[in-house]
Amino acid sequence: MVQRRQGTKGRPMTRREVLRWGAAAAAGVAAGPFVITPGHGQTFHWQRFKGKELFLLFYRHPWIDEMAKYYPEFESLTGIKVQQEVLPEIQGRQKIVVEMTAGSGGVDVWHSSTHVEKRRFWKSGFYQPLNKFLEDKSLTSPDFDWNDFVGGARAGVTQPDKTISAVPTFVDPFILFYRKDLYEQRGWKPPKTLAELEEQAQKLHNPPGMYGYVARGLKNASATSWAFSLFAQGGEYLTPDGKSALNSPAWVKAMDWYTGMLRRYAPPGVVNFNWSECSSSFMQGQVGIYYDGVNFANQFEDKEKSRVAGKVGYAVLPAGPAGQFPPTFTSAMAISAQSRNKEAAYLFVQWATGKQMCLRELLAGVGVGRGSTWSNPEVKAKPKMPADWYAAYLESMKIGRNGLPEIVDVTQYRDIIGVAIQKAIEGAKSEAVLAEAHKDFQELLDKTEK
């Protein structure tokens, strides 16, 4: 993670030149322990914990795949050795809970899915608060810049008591995918409102060759995409005093819109569609409009697998009566409160979420929470995705909201609302399914939020 300085003729210095420069500046001290930070004239001691070993427990994720390529760099920079275990998300989360409950101290860093773990793990004391580390100039490199992370990303890792539980890595807002070729034929622009979206879906809908629209219909899985309709109609998960808000008029309007769109314009069997079925139908050219997590877009541009490669447009989700709030989900690097190597682990977290790593991730097509990375000249010079994907992604991060309620048992909430959505798709009245869901959700809150 050697920082770049300008070499001859304004070009970036090579690693060899930086090391030579650093060695001279350190007056004979080996360059490895220190990095000169641009604009600060300071050295940061990366090797202060040389000889430590860290154990990393990660869930399978594109961010981890890209980052792991550079572990030798981290070990050379810091003198810290790392071992990692990568598991599917559910298994990984189960292992974290087992390790923490046992108090083993065996995990130093994990990649936290904060949209599920944030409140539960905070209440259980699993997260090491990072506020004091971030404020400690001897521990935080001057060029790290916490405020470079967009506001939504920082909010996603900040708890009610203002403690910061992790550092954002991958930020996943939901955006709109649409058939750009079909829109251009009709002279259309991406929809700006829910009404425009529905009008376009209706006109594109021509089954069985083309369905106008698709989104998740499978219970539990639909809870994340459902949030778009809810926020657009002005719905909240909780009342100001922390009670269930599922019985409000905004929830009924949101349920009517979300399930009505799926009944009228989605492919048959949408009640059983998770993201994979939705993505597949869109990628095979069977659907005109789809929205989901921004990370699914890479497959649409794969010419070997996608029939719509080069034909997809990307846009921020349209606004509803209450405004424009893309549901957003944040993953982050967290330090275990039980780690015996907290400060060494913090160096890893800094490196893993630093500007250089975020640049590498974005160049590889993996989204990041740092605002400056998106305007980096190298990203603009080597785009992996279409320009409107980058624009939609960045704008959505700026205006997005946490897509799930910040409660202890997020999974149980997803089950509750997922059942309601599925029943409504199948024809049940929105008022009836939400009355039942409201009762179940309040019972959940009474049990877990005391």
For residues 313 and 382, membership in a common domain is answered with: no
For residues 412 and 270, membership in a common domain is answered with: yes
Residue 433 parent element (H or E): helix 430-448
| Residue 9: inside a domain | no
**Residue 345 near residue 108, CB atoms below 8 Å:** yes
For residues 64 and 132, membership in a common domain is answered with: yes
Whose CA is closest to 52, among 135, 136, 108, 103?
108
Determine the structural domain holding residue 439 and report its residue range: 172-327+406-448
| Residue 134: inside a domain | yes
- The pLDDT of residue 380 is 87
For residues 281 and 296, membership in a common domain is answered with: yes
| Residue 15: inside a domain | no
For residues 194 and 274, membership in a common domain is answered with: yes
- The pLDDT of residue 365 is 84
| Residue 420: inside a domain | yes
Per the document, the length of the chain is: 450
Q: Map residue 287 onto helix, strand or coil.
A: strand
Strand duo 53-59 + 109-113: pairing: parallel
**Residue 276 near residue 299, CB atoms below 8 Å:** no
**CATH code: domain of residue 286:** 3.40.190.10
| Residue 1: inside a domain | no
Q: List Cβ neighbours of 95 (8 Å cut-off, separation of 6 or more).
A: 57, 87
Q: Map residue 244 onto helix, strand or coil.
A: strand
| Residue 386: inside a domain | yes
- The pLDDT of residue 450 is 76
For residues 159 and 279, membership in a common domain is answered with: no
Q: Residue 57's CB: how many other CB atoms inside 10 A? A: 21
Q: What is the DSSP-derived secondary structure letter of residue 10? A: G
pTM, two decimal places: 0.83
Strand duo 211-214 + 401-402: pairing: unpaired
- The pLDDT of residue 432 is 97
For residues 310 and 179, membership in a common domain is answered with: yes
**Domains of the chain: total:** 2
- The pLDDT of residue 97 is 94
Q: Map residue 384 onto helix, strand or coil.
A: coil
- Which conformational region is residue 9 in: left (phi greater than 0), alpha (psi within -120 to 50 degrees), or beta? left
- The pLDDT of residue 91 is 93
64, HSE (Cβ side, Cα atoms, 13 Å): 20
For residues 334 and 351, membership in a common domain is answered with: yes
| Residue 2: inside a domain | no
Q: Could you give the maximum distance between any two Cα atoms of the chain, in Å?
A: 77
- The pLDDT of residue 35 is 55
| Residue 156: inside a domain | yes
- The pLDDT of residue 46 is 96
For residues 297 and 381, membership in a common domain is answered with: no
Whose CA is closest to 417, among 289, 158, 229, 239?
229
Per-residue pLDDT tens digits of the chain, which is 450 residues long: 333 333 433 344 444 433 333 333 333 233 345 554 444 445 899 999 999 999 999 999 989 999 999 999 999 999 999 999 999 988 999 999 999 999 989 999 999 999 999 999 999 999 999 999 999 999 999 999 999 999 889 999 999 999 999 999 999 999 999 999 999 999 999 999 999 999 999 999 999 999 999 999 999 999 999 999 999 999 999 999 999 999 999 999 999 999 999 999 999 999 999 999 999 999 999 999 999 999 889 899 999 999 999 999 999 999 999 999 999 999 999 999 999 999 999 999 999 999 999 999 999 888 899 999 998 999 989 888 999 999 999 899 889 999 999 999 999 999 999 999 999 999 999 999 999 999 999 999 999 997
